[in-house]
Each structure stands twice: as C-alpha cells, then as structure tokens.
Amino acid sequence: MDLSAINPILLVAALMSAATPILLAATGELVVERAGVLNLGVEGMMIIGAICGFAIAVETGSPTIGFVAAAVGGALLSLLFAFLTQITLANQVASGLALTLFGLGLSALLGQGYVGIKPPRMPDINFGPLADIPVLGPILFSHDPILYVGLLIVAVVWAVLKFTRVGLVLRAVGENHDAAHALGYKVVRIRTLAIMFGGACAGMGGAYISLIRVPQWTEGMTAGVGWIALALVVFASWKPWRVLLGAYLFGGITQLQLNLQGAGVAIPVEYLAMSPYVITIVVLVILSADKSAAPGSLGRTFHASS
Amino acid sequence: MKLTTLFASAALALGLASGAWADGHEKTKVGFVYVGPVGDGGWTFTHDQGRLAVEEEFGDAVETVFVENVAEGPDAERVMTQMALDGADLIFTTSFGYMDATNNVAAKFPDIKFEHATGYKRLHPNVSTYSARFYEGRAVQGHIAGSITESNIIGYIASFPIPEVIRGINSAYIHAKKANPDVEFKIIWVYTWFDPAKEADAATALIEQGADVILQHTDSTAPHAAAQEAGNVAAFGQASDMSAYAPYPRVSAILDLWGPYYVERTRAVIDGTWESVDTWNGIGDGMVGIGEITDAVPAEVKAEALALKASLADGSYHAFTGPLNKQDGSAWLGEGESADDGTLAGMNFYVEGITGDIPQ
Amino acid sequence: MVRFEKRPQPSRLFAYATPLLAVLATFFFGGLLFAALGKDPVVSIVTIFWEPLFGEFSFFYRPQLLIKGAPLVLIAIGLSLGFKAGIWNIGAEGQYIMGALVGAGVGLAFYPTESVLIFPLMVLAGALGGMLWAMIPALLKVRFGTNEILVSLMLVYVAEQFLASMSLGLLKNPEGFGFPGSRNLQQYPSAHNAEIIAGSGMHCGVVAALIAVIFAYVLFARHKLGFAIRVTGEAPRAARFSGVNPSRLVVFCLGASGMLAGLAGLFEVSGPAGQVTIDFNVGYGFTAIIVAFLGRLNPIGIVLAGLLMALTYIGGDIAQSQLQLPAAAIQVFQGMLLFFLLAFDLFTNYRLRFGRSEVA
C-alpha cells in the first residue's frame, strides 16, 4: 500500500473532467424537472448526442461543430418526448423509458460506420502562465473548453432561475401548472422549451464522452451515465450549485476508488460502486424534512381544460 | 390434452427438422450467437471477423447467420434453438455464459454441431469447446512493457477477478519482471467488460500514479486516448489491433484471431470429419496474434519480443515455466517445470512479487 | 384551430381501437425503416409478427412467448396496483434481482439435499426478498415522505452491484473452476422450477402470473381495496375523506409489487435462466413498466401487452438471424411501437375538436 502515489491535485483535475458529462446532463434535467416534467430518457438523449457529435466531428473535422450537432441531436430527440407528454398527454415515466430504448437503438444504427475511428481532438484551452500556478494551475486552468462551458451553464441556469422573470415563470409552471395556466402562462410551450434545453444539455454530455473522455464510438458507450444524472438532480434537491457539488462528489468517489486500488488498498469494489446511490437515498431522506424541495407538479400531466 | 397433442407434434417436427438436412441441402449453414453488438470494436467484433473469414473462404458453399446482443440464459437458448430449427449445421456460441444453454440445445439436436467459446462443459458428443491462450500474448506484452518502462511502474486495467484475467496478469508480470527486475504492477479492477468512460478513468488514475505503460483487459480504446493525452505513456491494443493509435501510444497489440478456427471447423462439418474436441490454441495455432510492434519500441526489445513469440509458437517455451512461487511464497513450479492446463484454467492466485489481493 | 377536449367518459371504442391503430402505424413507419436498410418491409414485419405465432416452427415459439412474457406480466401486474394509486415503483428491476438472489441463496444453502420442501421455501424467500427491497422506498415514503420514484430507482443500482458481488463471491459455484456464477439450479431437482408439461413453456412462473392476473382483476372489480386504490389515484383528497389510509396503501402497493417482482426473479433464476450470474437481470423490471402502461393498467390489457412485447423480442431475434436485420433496427422498431401506443392513447380520453376554442 502506498498512498503517497495518489496526487490530490491531479485527482481533483481528473474528477472535474470525469464529472462533466453527468454535470451537463443533470443541469439540463434540473431545468426540465423545475418545469414540472420528469424525463427518464436522459440516457437515450445522451447516447444520441454522443453519436451525433462524434459523426459530425469526424465528417467536418471540427469538434466544436460536433458539440453543436450533439446539442441539436439531443434536443430533436427530446422533442419526441415533448410531443408525447405535452401534446398527446402520455405518461411521462413510460415515455421517458421508451425514449431511452429508442435512443439506444437509433444511435447504434446511426453509428454503424463509425466504429474504430479516432475523432478530431479538441485541444485544451491555453491559459499561458496561469496554467503554471502551483495547485490552482492544474486544477483550474488545464482543461478543454467544454468543461468550462458546463460550469458556465450551471452558473447561467442558477442565475436565470433565481433572478429573472423567465426563471420565475418556469418555477411557477413547475410548482403548480393549473395556477400558472390561470395566470396566463403558456404551460405547454414553456415545458417544451425546457425539455429541449434538457435534451441539448444531455446531448452535449454524451458528446463529451465520445469526443473528449473516451474518445471513440461504440454502441451503448454511455453505459448508464444518464441514470446517474437523474439521481444527481434529486441529490442536489433541484438546486444548480448542488448539482455541481454532487457531480464532483460522484465523480470523486469513482476516481478515489480507482486511485485507492492503484495504490494497492484492498477495497470492496462493488460496495464502493453502490455508495453514490446509497448516499443519494440518505440525502433524499434528509431533504424530505424540507417539503419545498421537489417541484409541486413534478411528473403530473397537464391539460388546459377550458 | 391440447398441450399434449401440441407437444407430440412438436417432437415430430423437431425430428423432421434435424433430419431434414441429412438428405443434403446444398449450402452448409453456420450460425453465430453474439453476446454484444458487432460494433463493440472488441470481443464480439473479433468473432464477427471470424464469421466473415468463413464467408470469404467458402463463398457460396456456406451461408452464415448471426444474432447479436443475445442475453445469457433463456434468450440464448431460444436463439440457438431457432438457428437449429432454421437448418443450421454448425453453431458457434461465443460467450462463457452460454455454456449450459449450449449443452441443453445440443441435447435436443444431436445431428447439429455446437461450438462453445471459453467454456468447459461438453456433455454431448456434438459439443466442442474452444478458447485461446491469450496468456501467451500477455507474455510478449509483459516483456515489451517491462523493457520500455522508465518509471518501473506498469498499470493494469483488469475487468472481473476470474481465472482468464488473473492468468493474463500473472503471465504479463512474470515476463515484465524477467526483462526488468525492478518492475512493479499497479492493478485496477473496473468490474465491467465494457464501460469506456470508466476505463478512461482507470487509465488516468494509473498514469497519475506514475505508470508509463498501460496494459488492459477491457476492450475499448479509451486507455489509449488517456495515454496519448499524457504524452509519454505506452499502451497495447486489446482484442483488435487499435491501429488508430499506432505507432504511439499503441506499441503492439494482442489479437483475437478466430477466423482460422472457424474455417477449419466449418470445413470439418462439410467433410463430415467433425468431432467433439476441447481446443485451447495459442500463438502457434494462429488463434492469438501479436499486432505489429511499432518503431516506438527499441529494435533490440522488438527482436527479443519476436524471439519470445517464436519460442511460444513452436512450443519450445511455456509462458508459465518454473521456478515460480505463488504470491504467499509457497512453491508452485519447480525449475524447468511448466504449468498444467488444469491449474491454468482455474487460476485463482497471483504469482510471487505481485502486491495486493485478488478481490473476492 | 385544433384542440383536444376531455371526454366525460373514456371511449370504449378507442380503448380497443388505439392499440390496433398504433400497431398499424408502427408497421408503416417500421416498414419504411426496414426498407431504408435495404430489407423487404413486408417480409421483415411478417417475420417479426407472424413467424413466431403461425410460422413453420410456431410449436417452439409459442411456448417461448410464455417464458418471455410471464416475468413481464407478473411484474407489470404488481406495478399496476401502485400506478393506479399514483404510487410509482420504478425499481422493479432491483426487486427482481433481490428476489432471485434470496430465493436462489436459500435453495443453494440446502444443496445437495433433496426435499419437496425446498422449492416452496425458495418461492417464499424470493417473494420476501423482493418485498423487503420494496419496503425500503415504502417505509421511507411513509416515514419521511421521500420520493419513491427516485429511491426505488437508486436501489436498482445497489442491487446490481450486490448481484455482481454475490456471483463472484458467496454464491459462486465451488465446482465452477473459479468462473463467476452460481450452480445451475436446473441440475438440482429439488430447486428446479421445471416446466409443468415439458415443451409447453408452462413453468410455475407462468402459473403465478395467471394467478396474479386473476387476483388483480378480482381486486379491482370486486374488492374494497381495489376501490381505495382507484379513488386514491383519481382523487387523493376524496380518498382520504372516505377513510382510505394513505400510508397503508403505500406499504401495500409497493410491498405487493416488490413481492411479485421478487417472485418473477425467483422463477426465472430457478427455471429458464438456471443460475445467478453477473448479467442475470436483462431489464424485465424496466420493460414491465412499459408493459403496465401499454396494458392501460388493466390486468387483461397487461397480459396482451406482455405477450406483444415478448413477440417483438422473439420475432426480432428471428428477423436478425433470417434477414440479417441489425439488433439496433429491432430496438428502434420497438421504440416506435411504444411511442405510437402511448401517443394514440390520447384518443381514449380526449376527442379532437376543430374550430375556435371558447375563451376560458
């Protein structure tokens, strides 16, 4: 056993990168749930984003265009969910699960020609001398642009939800759609936009895996990350900064687990792999004292009966 | 009574189905049952390459069919039965978890030949098992890794603690140690065969802990990308060549080459010479390949590696040759003694020198 | 201007017509998909839907429908109880795993003793395992008001890790040469959930599913509890005034669904699957959620939906092997079917109105 082999600075830098896909997807899902919609199709939207981003990046040679395509792909797929749940008033749980099934299949079909290809690499941002600052340099100034975009999205979502009218309306719709409708807000339109935002974020999260973290395309490569993102939103009690904290905590547990193994510490791998889920449940129980945490209309179908 | 009539007719039809091919339909039909998608770039992909080799070899004389993403258990049993009913003459089942299903179906279709990969049960005369001595490839890999490491730390990404994986670790370690007595292995168990993101994380963790060579027993190129990112870390292709990352960080590869075996067994069915066998082939029989050793490896190391490969291939050297002790220091193999296949097949211990415990 | 107006009563006509319309729409768009992949759309669809039911080998596929459909129906019936009352258990996959683990664990503990009591004991243990796992979200909801959707979902992943741990550790077959996975219960007569009539597909799980369907039907049609469930789902406040105890209802609905999921797991592990392995669960718990909704939470509807899903799985595998359709295309096809079924349900509860909407 040699714990000195673990470099905490590099560990933190690595967990930031490892956490970015779930951070992006969970932030998107947070907005969707704050609008009162539960979309369990995150995994499906992520994998569609992963293949759209990968294919377009390979075809155009530009990872940036790839990420844009991933966001568009995720949003398009989420439109299907929006149509089902907002227009045809189908059950959200079933629609979300069907979306994941569909997304996994469709991505595999689209990706048939892209197995074994190396995508164009997205370079890290060059911060010049900033990157040489001890401790802070490697942690804060050594990453790819999308990681910062993810942080920016968290900040923007937080600010919009807290300080703007748009945020207020979104939350009103999520808390009580009947009241919001009575006040004249377009519940369906607002929710559809929120769902599309969630799809775009999930798509980018997926592309982060296929273009930066891994980078390659293989069927089913998101391997269940979408479900962790769903857990994370609850863990964060629907608050953006806590999503960030939670993403780093989840990512950190995985990183630490792998690092401990590398250092020769005998740990029960399966039980550590359970821990993020168990912790989420504990947090849920603690949060339940605060009844205001969950959006009031979460998962309920809205129909404007006139 | 309705069910009994149904069953009677079923038995009749089963009899007809398995009898039908005997009077000679023109094409030999070969079925493949895959546990993953053919696009996984790893295990299933290499088996499908084997299937294509059969098509290439026999052309119109043979028809191949496959079903991908078949879950182990009742689904596998159904798909095998379906292939048998549809007139397959030979069926390859390519996952360890298909073992009991393969034998169950083989009992119902005594005239159809079954080939089960990586298993050990041959309960019926129409079942063969086959597997590859990947540990021979690991020996070559270990030698190269031990020779080129400068930090003397080699990272190993392992999947599940099963004999196949443990054997690979031991073989790589023994030969790395021979090339470089100071070498140390850091092993991370990821508990998955396939999760590219987790493989990337594991590779990064190993690199951060000083490893400058990464060996992997998982199928994605994620560790290669992590190695490339780090700059001065070497890696090896697994299952397929992964040449997209050559010449560096990918310096060589272990290749799963199922094609020659599939061709040989198909020919045996066509010729009527097929018999139940237990095959465990290595480099010599062409089931395990060593991907091109790139120029990033020093010429003398490359020459040594090729010499090791040649001695494994012609059988003059066994990858597990004594003197070797187990991790706890107890004697395992005496001077010049080589391991028997039974011990290798069920290997559940590390050899002396590897630190850490096998998770239980 | 087109808008939807809520019907005072759900339309009986559309309740029956929408599934048919959805299937037809899927045929059309699925056909387009298959054509785009270069396959004959008509042949593809006939292969998926006709072949298993009325094709040459339907004697084999029809029983397979029972084997594939029974766990789906059994789990979905349990889920429908809660869904009707607005209690969302989406962690049936976890309860399925725990039922299988506890049940198989009890059976394996007695190995190799033979006794007629062992299988009933396993059934009991399986039911208990699933029920206790579902009690976690139930009690947390009752005691702390936590959201059962999320707790039950989280527990799926905990159960999956537990399954991996058990198949590599405690339940590993001591005679399995170190390979992961338990002994095969099919080869342990006292613990084997054998087909009641060989070749019919009828095992205890199918019988249990039928009993559950009848039980649920009677519960909703005749029993006070069924009434309480319905009222709670439709008007929670009214239910409380009429004396329904919401806590007790949560415990009953989650407990019952967990028990049925656990039973499904037990019957699967002791019958068609045979053994505990790392990949034992194949998603029945999640598919059953879709089945419950496709069946409109109605016991008869669930049976039909379960069989329909089973049909697309079985037919899909046939189409893969006979027509070389990729597995992904089948998955997309299933996704389409679900979308259309979900979307067209609108017409059961709403009618389409053309013209200007009056001002609210």
Q: What is the pLDDT of residue C355?
A: 60
- Averaged in consecutive runs of 10 residues, what is the pLDDT profile of chain B (360 residues)? 42 45 68 89 90 94 93 92 94 93 94 93 94 94 95 93 92 95 92 84 90 91 88 90 86 93 95 94 93 93 95 94 91 91 89 86
Touching subunits of B (3+ CB pairs, under 8 Å) are: A, C
Average pLDDT over chain C, rounded to an integer? 88
The verdict on a CB contact (< 8 Å) between B205 and A221 is: no
Closest Cα in chain B to C316: B67
| Region of C213 on the Ramachandran plot (φ > 0 left; ψ -120 to 50 alpha; else beta) | alpha
β-bridge mates for residue B189, sequence order: B158
Nearest to C204 by CA among C183, C185, C184, C223: C185
Least confident of A13-17, B263-267, C228-232: C228-232
Contacts of C88 in chain A (CB under 8 A): 93, 299
> To which residue do tokens 């966001």 refer?
A71
Q: Which residues of B touch A5 (CB under 8 A)?
A: 186, 209-210
Residue with tokens 């007790």: C248
The pLDDT value given to residue A93: 85
Residue A292 has pLDDT above 60, yes or no: no
- Contact at CB, C318 and B82, closer than 8 angstroms: yes
Candidates B162, B166, B191, B194, partner chain C, best to mutate (most C CBs within 10 A): B162
Contacts of C94 in chain A (CB under 8 A): none
pLDDT in tens, B132-158: 999 999 999 999 999 999 999 999 999
A-chain CB neighbours of C154 within 8 Å are 231, 277-278, 280-281
**Least CB-CB distance to B71: which of C198, C282, C324?**
C282
Q: Do A90 and C346 lie within an 8 Å CB cutoff?
A: yes
Quickly count: other Cβ atoms within 10 Å of residue B303's Cβ: 12
Task: For residue range A158-180, list pLDDT tens digits in order.
Answer: 999 999 999 999 999 998 888 88
ipTM of the complex: 0.88
Q: Is residue C358's pLDDT more than 50?
A: no
- pLDDT for residue A191: 95
Is B221 in Cβ contact with A264 (below 8 Å)?
Answer: no
Distance, CA of B95 to CA of B110 (rounded, Å): 21
Picking from C59, C202, C322, the nearest residue to B86 by CB comes out as C322
Cα nearest neighbour of C158 on chain A: A274
- The model's pLDDT over A199-243, given as tens digits with 9 standing for 90+, comes to 999 999 999 999 998 888 988 888 888 988 988 888 888 899 999
The C-alpha atoms of residue C126 and residue C205 are separated, in whole angstroms, by 12
Per-residue pLDDT, averaged over C103-111, amounts to 92
Residue of chain A with shortest Cα separation from B243: A116
Contact B197, A220 (CB under 8 A): no
Rounded distance, CA B226 to CA B229, Å? 5
- In one-letter notation, the amino acid at residue A250 is F
Predicted pLDDT of residue B7: 40
User: DSSP assignment of A74-137, as one string?
Assistant: HHHHHHHHHIIIIIS---HHHHHHHHHHHHHHHHHHHGGGGTTPPPPPPPPP--GGGGGSTTHH
Q: Which residues fall within 8 angstroms of residue B23, CB to CB, at 6 or more apart?
A: none
**H-run or E-run covering A181:** helix A177-182
pLDDT of residue C8: 76
Residue B117 amino acid letter: A
C149 contacts on A by Cβ (under 8 Å): 38, 93, 299
- Interstrand relation of B113-117 and B250-256 (parallel, antiparallel or unpaired): unpaired
